Amino acid sequence: MAEDSVVAVYNTKSITADTKKKNNTFSIKVQLAQMLRGGAIVEVGNSQQAKIAEEAGACAVVVSSEYTQSGISRMPDPLLIKEIKRVVSVPVMAKARVGHFVEAQILEVIGVEYIDESEVLACSDEENYINKHKFRVPFVSGCRGLGEALSRVREGAALIRIQGELSRMGNIVETVRNVRSVMGDIRVLNYMDDDELFAFAKRISAPYDLVAQTKQMGRLPVVLFAAGGIATPADVALMMQLGCDGVFLGSEVFEGSDPCKRVRAIVRAVMHYNDAHVLAETSCGLVDSMERLNLNEDRGQQSGSEGVD
């Protein structure tokens, strides 16, 4: 994105000391999130994967969450987080359930650099998200549209993740749809008259002041990443060329015969997303490690052709 600076979101002339303190704290969180811009955040399940991600050039790692026998997903084991923090020097991120502020309190005490309030996990509160202004650590929040993104920013999110498919099968279509939706609304917003902003803010259920700031900046007031179905260097380059500031990579990137090569290639594609020659080079030799991602789709096509014959 063209704009390098991020304007403080809460910017009013007459504010109290407490409000000013909160604004300054949020500005610091936004600056910390800016440090991840132009990079790839890789999901890891153990210290070995974390080392691979760091060596490949990941700007941060996010620790995989735990799944119980009942299928409920919760925050990662604190022991795993501490172990990963000991072996890597890049920032460590961990997931908390939506609305579960106690999980966020635990993660902050452990010392993670970022907390992801993730809708990928089981939901703990269907109505209320975490009040992120109560925490010192920057938060990441997901969205599928501009209104949702700006609502999460109002709650204190310093980094927005446009979420796509959750099945980990390498299907990027939903991510592309949501990224284009957010970018399309921002482009429409840029051509609106100031008097039209009230109706637009109401239509997308977003705070008016943040809608106005987005129009002024020509982009979201915080860093914007994409997640879901991103499995190849070409996928990464697509997200970056559509206007994202970076990408999240799922733990499935470690599957295959040479996970080091694959993660390194995908991370390199983030830095060279506009260079087709580099993208072609990094895409070579990755087919065998991506077979599982299309397994269900291939089987469906095979069964369909058998029926036709």
Spatial distance between the Cα atoms of 265 and 61, rounded to a whole number of angstroms: 16
Structure tokens, 129: 């998200």
End-to-end CA distance of the chain: 50
272 three-state secondary structure? coil
Element (H, E) at 224: strand 223-227
User: Which listed residue (22, 29, 82, 95) is catalytic?
Assistant: 95
The total of other beta-carbon atoms located within 10 Å of residue 73's CB is 17
Which residue do the tokens 């609305």 mark? 99
Asked about 215 being catalytic, the answer comes back as no
Nearest partner of 155 among 140, 166, 145, judged by Cα: 140
Which residue do the tokens 């040479």 mark? 258
DSSP strand pairing (73-74 vs 60-63)? unpaired
Partners of 74 in beta bridges: 66
Do residues 247 and 240 touch, judged by C-beta distance below 8 A? yes
Would you please indicate which residues are annotated as catalytic (active-site) residues?
Answer: 95
